[in-house]
Every structure is written in C-alpha cells, then in structure tokens.
Amino acid sequence: MKIIKLSAIDSTNSFLKEMASNSVLENYTIVVTDSQVNGRGQQGSVWVSEPYKNLIFSVFVRFSDLDISKRRYLNFAVSLSIYQVLTALEIPKVTIKWPNDILAVNKKICGVLVENSLKGAKIASSVIGIGLNVNQTVFPKHLEKASSLKLIRPKPYNLEEILDLLILKLKEKIAVLESDHFETLEKDYLHVLHKKNIPTMFKDSKNALFMGVIRGISIDGKLQVEVEDETILEFGIKEISLL
C-alpha cells in the first residue's frame, strides 16, 4: 500500500485516474489531500470541503475477476466499509442513503464516487473517492443537510487515524467481494439502507411528487420503489430524490 499526500489538488479521483493511465500502480495506492478545490460527486455534482478539516482521499483497487454485472456489490462493499467505521467510532444513527451517501442523524456526512475501468466484461480496476466531513463545523447555507463527525459527536478527530481505519475496513470488504459473498454484502447493505420499508415522499426527474416504499436494489444497481398500486418501479441516479 502506497500513500501519496498532497497539500492541495483539483480532484483526488482525477489525479489517481491519471496516474493509473500512465503507470502500473500498486494495489491500494491512496491519494489524500488537505484541500480539494474541484471535488467531484455523483453525476457531475460538486463536493465542497473546508481545507485541513476533513478527510478527502481516493483509493486505487485492482481486481482479478470481477464481472461488470457485479458492480453494485462493489458499491455495497465501499458503503459498508464507511458505515462500519463510523458506527465503531460511536457516531449515532448512521445509515446509507442510496446509492452511497452516508448519513448520521439524517444529515449527510460522507460522499462516495466510484469510477471503474473496464476490460471487456470485467472491472479491471476502480478509483474509489471518499469525502468524509470530520472536523468542519460551519457549512455554506445551501448545504443545510450537511454535517460532520464533530458536529454530531463533539470531540477532536485525528484524520490519519480515521483514514487507517477506513482503508483496513475497505480491504476487508473488498476481500468479501472477491470471495463472491455477494448475498452477505447485499443483506448487510439493505439492513442499513436509509428509509427502506418506510413510506416516503419522493420526487422524480420531472419534479412530480409521489409516495413510495424502498424495497431493494435491482441487478443493475437501480433503486426499487413500491408505489401505491403495489407496482415496483426502478430509478437510476438523478432520476429520483427523497424528500
């Protein structure tokens, strides 16, 4: 495992992807930065983070035989890694909001961006970007749903110690994935999925509101929602939001 520490960078994911395209990287090469000025989230969204207060890093993971059809289990593994570290740190009411946001007390404290490199029908490698709000206590007004470990459970946190815990747990969950224990990952993920089996108001991509109940995740990673007529509808990222 190799750790590259940078004081400031546009995006740790972009930096690591560029490295991977130009050289043979050691498995679990990590890029971590004190300040990220152009952080990327899901579907082109922006990740905002105060310098020196939070944990911002990306991990390069190489796979020997992971079919692209199993990519949702990779997402489960990454999300569960973060979830289990935070619960071990005694952060209360942690849940995973589909697909891979991490909430605590219904506030977003962590975002994940997984970018895969394919070889045929296989995932050859992934760059896993994680932004965890740790010691930041003030957020922009437009991020009213954002929070941090320090706001939720007030105490100082050591960023390097949390990074070590996250990498250790990520390796553990990737090992479960590569051992083909897909049902275990899915069961554990659904057990802590935010709003699962709870009647919830949703908004679709046309801004139409409807009531539904999250029932699961489809084989291609879409959110399965049961609506009032008991039909199960499937939604991709940015096609639905929880209110």
For the chain, domains (ranges, CATH) are: 3-191 (3.30.930.10), 200-242 (2.30.30)
Give me the pLDDT at residue 54, please.
96
The mean pLDDT value of the chain amounts to 94
Type of residue at 105? V
**pTM of the predicted structure, to 2 decimals:** 0.94
116-168 residue pLDDT tens: 999 999 999 999 999 999 999 999 888 889 999 999 999 999 999 999 999 99
Q: At 49, phi and psi to the nearest 5?
A: -150, 135
45-84 pLDDT tens trace: 556 788 999 999 999 999 999 999 999 999 999 999 999 9
Q: Which residue has the higher pLDDT, 3 or 141?
A: 3
**On the CB side of 28, how many CA atoms lie within 13 Å of its CA?**
13
Mean pLDDT, rounded, for 76-95 = 98
- When computed from its CA atoms, the radius of gyration of the chain, rounded to whole angstroms, is 18
Cα–Cα distance, 19 to 189 (Å, whole number): 31
Question: Half-sphere exposure of residue 131, counting CA atoms within 13 Å on the CB side?
Answer: 28
From residue 127, alpha-carbon distances to 12, 112, 118, 213 in Å are 9, 10, 12, 32
Residue 15 and residue 7 in contact, taking contact as beta carbons nearer than 8 Å: no
Give the bridge partners for 119, in sequence order.
Answer: 122
